[in-house]
Amino acid sequence: MDLGLTDKVAVITGASIGIGLAVAEGLAAEGAHVVMAARQGERLGIEADRIADAYGVKTSAVACDVATADGCDALIAAAREGFGGADILINNAGTGSNETIMEAADDKWRYYWDLHVMAAVRLARGLVPTMKARGGGVVLHNASICAVQPLWYEPIYNTTKAALMMFSKTLATEVIDDNIRVNCINPGLIQTPDWVKTAKELTADSGGDWEGHLKGVAEEYAAIKRFGTAEELANFFVFLCSDKATYSVGSAYFVDGGMLKTV
């Protein structure tokens, strides 16, 4: 199936590892050029070079922190100067939190707000005009099932991901007349390096069976009884970027193995 992505330019945040890297590779496999952003410059460069060699596309590695205005500006400039803008923007950068509302300081709230919400706002302001000039485009936001079904131990993550989901919906109505489609993807349990790291930490004093720990989490929360892979989730991102999803506008899609408990 031709997804119509050949020679499109995609900007992807959090692209050095996990979901963002899988999305970058999935788009490159369809012939898209990828501008990959992350804080870990060395690892990012290695992965960008690998993808360019594997798929014969152009890649750009932009070491920046999109939780800052300067980092967003650097990424916007790289896309504009290197590729004349973007056809696709994937706002993926993010991380879990662990706190209580009563104890979390303002600085922690501000950091997650900048990372999960303001990064998406700033990058939209900088890159949506280039999509309009190119005749249209796609913006996808990687939120979380926690935006609607929160986990008790990460209230800041829950709240900022819910805000990202609403921003996605609002942006969709603002730019659809410019042929720019905006959607939100809310993953459930996806086995990322963060999940593995946490599982190893939690089992370090009890035998180190981190795989067993993750199996227990999946059996408790997901109807499918397993974690999804980053590649499985990336397939959905790639489809929503494609010409096969042109009537998908302003929606939130749950890719969660049956974890969501409501209709």
CA angle 184/186/190 to nearest 5° reads: 135
Residue 50 token pair: 């690998």
CA dist list (Å): 224 to 19, 48, 143, 198, 204: 20, 33, 21, 22, 27
Long-range CB contacts (within 8 A, 24+) of 115-119:
115/66, 115/67, 115/160, 116/157, 116/160, 116/161, 116/163, 116/164, 117/160, 117/163, 117/164, 117/167, 118/67, 118/69, 119/13, 119/66, 119/67, 119/72, 119/91, 119/93
Catalytic member of 55, 157, 221, 247 = 157
Residue 179 token pair: 């042929």
Give the bridge partners for 89, in sequence order: 11, 139
Q: Within 10 Å of residue 210's Cβ, how many Cβ atoms? A: 18
Q: Within 10 Å of residue 121's Cβ, how many Cβ atoms? A: 15
Q: Is 157 a catalytic residue?
A: yes
Residue whose C-alpha is closest to residue 226's, from 201, 195, 186: 195
Active site residues: 157
